[in-house]
Structure 1
């Protein structure tokens, strides 16, 4: 009888967990002050959301009574209000590190997830930590969390003798919902108890399923509200002082305006009327010895915020907009290039994005860059001439993404770059699909892309991929294939390195879904990948790797991996010449990593790695070491040192035309070289409070490739000694970047930012191995530049202005 009752209890519990919880809210006319006290009378009569359930690590376990959580929701004509009480028997142990916006730090956390259409597709998530800091993001199952999205809302967190309290006011302008009189919203609440690394949600989220946004509860009771006019203006003004060894410029004043307008309840227009990206984070440049360009992160807010639609098909690399000019200037023997701009100025940009209640997402992005010229001087006559390196250009992206059954989608994507005059134009069209079974247990995803280049010689190409995977349970697997034709080219607005191949790949993994005696989380995974040159069928890549990632009961993270290339492969890219290849030897390598619990004041990350090649004396090894120390809730410093050495690395350095009448090089020169890389980074912050923060970010990088002897690439792909080459093709690149900044969020959505930055970089053929001298020379280098800037941005909400008048 006891077993039967226990079975019924478990069955009912599971059934209860699988159902969507419902919370009733009510309309209020009383003014609520966001002070974290919840002392207004109207809070006392509101319905309570409680009985939270653990999401991680012990999925499905009820929250302990001494840490119970109670949440209430109210609304008026302008906003929704959330009041949350997080009980804790040890309030003095609540972690509460003060951090910048969108950085949780080492703090307890409370969040509310709202889906105004209740379609399981997209959550607007708002977080408050125990130090009174804010974070917000847009979340989809396909693209995860996008913290570049920022809304304007109010919150207050207060520590009490029973735990801590959060009070929030989220205006309707920060949300998306239909114009129906009776609203039904998707809703979930989130709590993280940081010292225990435990995460809880109000509506149960089953980690066995491959979805997050579809496992929300329901908010009912909101009636007769209207989507507000979403018109936001963000005027800004910036003042710059630039100084270097060649010139000093004072009093550079810039101003501009960003605009956001809600076209209707679903779609938003974003515009940059006058762009200013002067305080954007610097790029971490490296010594790039490979055949492909270095890919940089996008740090400009306009191109990072709310871009989930534009990531469909992975066709947009927004650094192309305002990036390097398409052409390099040509100079005769008696001419000298005086000025060649490294980037192109952005004139303006706009994007329209949103999704209807029927699941149709529409995204339009358009940007215009200005005509850019290089200056060339005739050394005989001293006359100057201009040469266009980038004409006036228009960049456009169109996305139509139809979601259905709440967990699947099919998208049409088109990217187009049109340049004025007889310059190259590029167009890419794609069909992208992401299909999941009703219970989110299996996934079929893929795409078909077609590129067309209008140039001196028109080119058309195709890229397509298809993969199938199991996405639920302890054991999971996936298989897939892709193909890219020789002339596929999406590099006008995207980025693509390899063409003319087909590949096959697969993976299988095992994970625990609930903690064991020794582990909170444990995941083991095997991946296999093979790539073949499409025309010859020669194998270009063959790799298999095994990885384990785990988190023990003390919340220290450990991992280990073994990586092997068991067969010789044919590299068609490194020779930089059509139809030529170099044979790469087999190799085996591995790594381990240790990351201690960041809850501790002192923590450290350690990650050594190695690789051994089936070639005499050829190997590589290195490590990264990252100690971090949190002095108190206001001050913390993180340091990271990276070292990596490659012995007897083989790489391209030059090509020679033995027959001067031939356009194709007869001899391709490789070098047998040692490549050594060092990098040091230091970052830290001192937070006066959740609105004011001082930050420091320093990076020193040095990498050099010392050639030991020259090699010629034979027609069969092997390398032979080449004694007749004497050019110095050593490479040494070092760089320094330093940012010291102060930020103050002086009003909702409004910010003052003060930045001092200096940076320098140099590339040389002669290698100076004195590390200390290299650093000193770099900081004393004529190339060291200094920038001091002050930027003020002020957020104006049309609704607030209207109400005041």
Structure 2
């Protein structure tokens, strides 16, 4: 009875008492149009709208709130002007404000708009006006630029989502005066892709964010309940006689490194290369990097992995992050595969003979070059092609008696390819085809190796964007010359009411036991057949002391794909509330009433471990991040109903303080302990051994940031991660029925692991698209079979291991072909 009451209360929430009364509903949903005016001379981008040419332009105004009170007029007036000439579009925006001294204007890093405490103006531009694809150019009241590409998935997204790794070269200036603040923006045509039609109409929307009111408003009204914001663009018409320019730029770089490992002589290296961007035609662009250098990217957050699954690390290399939205189709591309550990890295140690040592065995494959071609035709067909080549890798083995050296090949030359075709349809729908291909001229048996993954994806939604259905199917193929080929497949279906306050959806996913996209993709595990249903109720208009809420309940039923055996079921409850003071609260609970038959932990196909009934609770709250002091706290507790009194608890705390408008300091501390955890330790033939252990993990990260000016800043990040697996004397033999029986076991599997990293980065964007960066890195990775219980003892042991220090300088300079054309 209590559960029924809780379920009913979580789904039937009070609806907003606010209705759209100030704006007529029919007028509200009408698409606005602004007629563009050709500039007789380009305005000066100085933040002062005093040129006569601006007076000839039309004005876009009457902004409507996106949030908090969707559909009501903005609290403050905004006027936007739009001009164009043969070179660029020009935008001037006057953000009126009755209290200019209250305008938020903190400084921050470029593209870090999510964490920047400032007012904003931004413009969405979809040159093909298809409701799916486009770019956003965003400027803060403090002059910090951000830009992003819209995701072409057609999925719902909030105002801040997009591919922020995309960087364009554009110009802006900001001034605050007695009536508010002003921005002028110049977006060169070289930053955009558009058709060569004589007269064009672009999809455009203008946005304003007033930080102190938490208000986001737009020129063309956007309904938060239905669809991506790019489904609700207004239009700028009569863009005439504009010709797509020659889009050709190149960014050469030089870099130098000094790297020193504890007690050894320093190594000195110098690098040089170039990034190239070429507009093949009005719609397609070639991006290429030759002899790239990614040595300055942030260090990975390494962890102790006791699971049977591969750890997935985030991509941080700029080339593989920027402009890759098309390549996300089908979820079959994981860019970290390119340049990853050589395929036969471990063979080097296995080949050691008497009196030999392993002198050098690279952890990463060297990238020779990478390129991508992407764009979209006038008919809405998106085409993307990606290619990368890594060189043959080898390890160096030294004879300790004769000092002779020999090489052991650890990885073949590898060619990576991906092709995507993506057709946009009405109402933000789409259909896509995609293929990845990995080719190696030989493997460790000196045989050719090819891996293909091919797929198709479809999403259809109605005109109101409230109902949708989606489907995906993929086929993996591995061809080994002289060996048996391996084929596998997967498919997914999902549909329901996916917009509005109340939503309901059903999904089915199947992955065959031979499906393997991991040569160029990432799949945590295969051999699954899942059915799930979800119901949710959301509120978008403020009521009482609540700004917005999201609530859902979902049910999941899981089986193996082959043989079709039951593995588990679960119920999940989620609730998230943002209050009127912009604090937020999130609550989640997961329950597995029958436990789970885990076919992956034993590490041997066909065997499983039966995990007992499990109940998890999670809570998280955040304070208002715009305030000088911000605090985030979360905690969870999992009860596992077994005879061994198993449970898991964790907490995380993240205080952050804005020391000034230029400086921010923050700390993140987390702790998790798995008490009486039971997991795999080893196997011998058909005997699989499990052990009882306590696994404790503590992680702490210090982040410091200081902004000198909008284009110059320094960041400092220090992370320490400590995890230990402390085994008791209780070991078990896994039975064929998934149960465990006690066994005498002699080996010791205690493990103590530390990872310590410092990343300190000074960045100066000294010209548009050009940058100088000075980076200091320090890293320590220490593991031991001896468990340290005392924090000081552990730290002392970690620093005794020795560290690697790296100091590097990199300078890249942006050169645009149009600049040289003008000077002729």
Question: Structure 1-normalised TM-score?
Answer: 0.95
Bigger drift between 475-484 and 249-258 goes to 249-258
Structure 1: stretches of 5+ with no match in the other structure: 1-8, 657-664
1:424 aligns with 2:472: no
Number of residues of Structure 1 aligned to a counterpart in Structure 2: 786
Query: 2:519 aligned with 1:519, yes or no?
Result: no
Q: 1:436 aligns with which of 447, 461, 464?
A: 461
Q: Identify if the C-alpha distance between structure 1 residues 216 and 350 changes in structure 2 by more than 3 Å, giving closer, same or farther.
A: same
Of 255, 261, 264, which residue of structure 2 is paired with 1:244? 261
* Mean CA deviation greater in 497-506 or 682-691: 497-506
CA contact (8 A) 2:725 2:752 kept: yes
1:185 and 2:211 matched? no
**1:760 aligns with one of 780, 786, 809:** 780
Give 1:501 deviation, angstroms: 2.3
Using the alignment, how far apart are the partners of 1:138 and 1:774 within structure 2? Answer: 45
In 2, Cα distance between equivalents of 1:131 and 1:36:
12
Question: Equivalent residue for 1:41?
Answer: 52
Distance, in Å, in 2 between the alignment partners of 1:798 and 1:403 is 32
- 1:72 is aligned, of 63, 78, 81, to 81
Counterpart mapping for 1:164-313 below 5 A: 164-249=181-266, 251-313=268-330
Shift of 1:562: 1.1
- 1:648 deviates by 0.6
Equivalent of residue 651 in structure 2, options 623, 632, 635:
623
1:614 matched to 2:614: no
CA contact (8 A) 1:374 1:386 kept: yes
How far apart in 2 are the matches of 1:345 and 1:508? 48
- Aligned Cα RMSD in Å? 1.7
Alignment partner, residue 638 of structure 1: 666
1:190-214 per-position Cα deviation (integer Å, ceiling 9, x unaligned): 1111112110010000112123212
> In the alignment, what sits opposite 2:3?
none
Distance 2:496 2:708 in 1: 48
Indicate conservation of the 8 Å contact 2:427/2:465, yes or no: no
Does 2:562 match 1:535?
yes
2:382 is matched with 361
The equivalent position to 1:790 in structure 2, one of 794, 801, 809, is: 809
Contact 2:152 2:326 (8 Å CA) reproduced: no
Structure-to-structure mapping, 1:310-321, within 5 angstroms: 310-321=327-338
Deviation at 1:767, TM superposition (A): 0.8
Structure 1 residues 139-169: Cα deviation after superposition (integer angstroms, max 9, x where no partner)? 1362650000000000011111111111101
Name the residue aligned to 2:120. 109
Give the match for residue 373 of structure 2. 352
Contact map agreement 2:427 2:461 (CA 8 A) in 1: no
Given that residues 755 and 779 in structure 2 are in contact (C-alpha distance below 8 angstroms), is that contact kept between their aligned partners in structure 1?
A: yes
- 2:100 corresponds to: 91
Q: Which residue of 2 aligns with 1:395?
A: 416
SS at match of 1:145: coil
| Secondary structure class of the residue paired with 2:339 | coil
Task: Pick one of 700, 704, 726 that aligns with 1:684.
Answer: 704
CA spacing shift, 1:624–1:432, aligned 2, 3 Å? same
- Give the corresponding residue for 2:621: 594
Looking at structure 1, the residues matched to 399 and 508 of structure 2 have their Cα atoms a distance apart, in angstroms, of: 54
Once the two structures are TM-superposed, the CA of residue 252 in structure 1 deviates from its matched residue by: 1.9
Alpha-carbon distance, 1:700 to partner: 0.5
Match of 1:3 in 2: none
1:603 aligns with 2:620: no
Contact 2:22/2:73 (<8 A) preserved: no
SS for the counterpart of 1:399 is strand
Using the TM superposition, give the Cα deviation of residue 762 of structure 1 relative to its aligned residue in structure 2, in angstroms.
1.3
Decide which of 486, 493, 497 is 1:466's aligned counterpart: 493
Q: 2:597 aligns to what?
A: 570
CA contact (8 A) 1:103 1:135 kept: yes
Alpha-carbon spacing, 1:11–1:253, altered in 2? closer, same or farther (3 Å): closer
CA distance in 1 between partners of 2:163 and 2:434 (Å) = 20
Deviation at 1:57, TM superposition (A): 1.7
Query: 1:331, 1:337 within 8 Å by CA — same for their partners in 2?
Result: no
Structure-2 change in CA distance of 1:336 and 1:579 (3 Å): farther
Mapped to 1, the partners of 2:199 and 2:757 lie a distance apart of 55
Residue pair 2:667, 2:700 contacting (<8 A) in 1 also: yes
Cα distance in structure 1, aligned partners of 2:22 and 2:755? 62
Structure 1 residue 260: Cα displacement = 0.3
Kept in 2, the 8 Å contact 1:137–1:149? The answer is yes
CA contact 2:110–2:144 (8 Å) conserved in 1: yes
**Which residue does 2:740 correspond to in 1?**
719
Distance 2:587 2:152 in 1: 28
Match of 1:705 in 2: 725
* Aligned equivalent of 2:10: none
> Which residue does 1:661 correspond to in 2?
none
Change (3 A) 1:44 1:174: same
Q: Which SS does the other structure have where 1:121 is aligned?
A: coil
- Report if aligned partners of 2:152, 2:325 keep a CA contact under 8 Å in 1: no
2:818 aligns with one of 788, 794, 799: 799
Task: Provide the rounded CA distance (Å) in 1 between the counterparts of 2:587 and 2:213.
Answer: 25
Deviation of 1:423 after TM superposition, in Å, equals 4.8
Task: Classify the secondary structure of the residue corresponding to 1:394.
Answer: strand
Range 399-408 or range 674-683, more displaced: 399-408
Shift of 1:667: 1.3
- Is 2:584 aligned against 1:584? no
Relative to structure 1, is the Cα distance of residues 245 and 22 closer, same or farther in structure 2, using a 3 angstrom cutoff?
A: same
Deviation at 1:380, TM superposition (A): 8.4
1:51 aligned residue: 62
TM-score, structure 2 normalization: 0.93
How big is each residue's C-alpha offset from its partner over 1:646-667, in whole Å with a ceiling of 9 and x where there is no partner? 10111111112xxxxxxxx121
After TM superposition, the structure 1 stretch with the greater mean CA deviation from structure 2, 210-219 or 264-273, is 210-219
Q: Is the 8 A contact 1:317 1:493 kept in 2?
A: yes
Give matches, 1:472-551, under 5 Å. 472-551=499-578
In 1, the alpha carbon distance for the partners of 2:281 and 2:773 equals 33
For 1:599 and 1:490, how far apart are their aligned partners in 2? 42
Give the one of 159, 166, 175 matched to 1:149.
Answer: 166
CA distance in 1, matches of 2:216, 2:371: 38
- Distance, in Å, in 2 between the alignment partners of 1:653 and 1:356 is 55
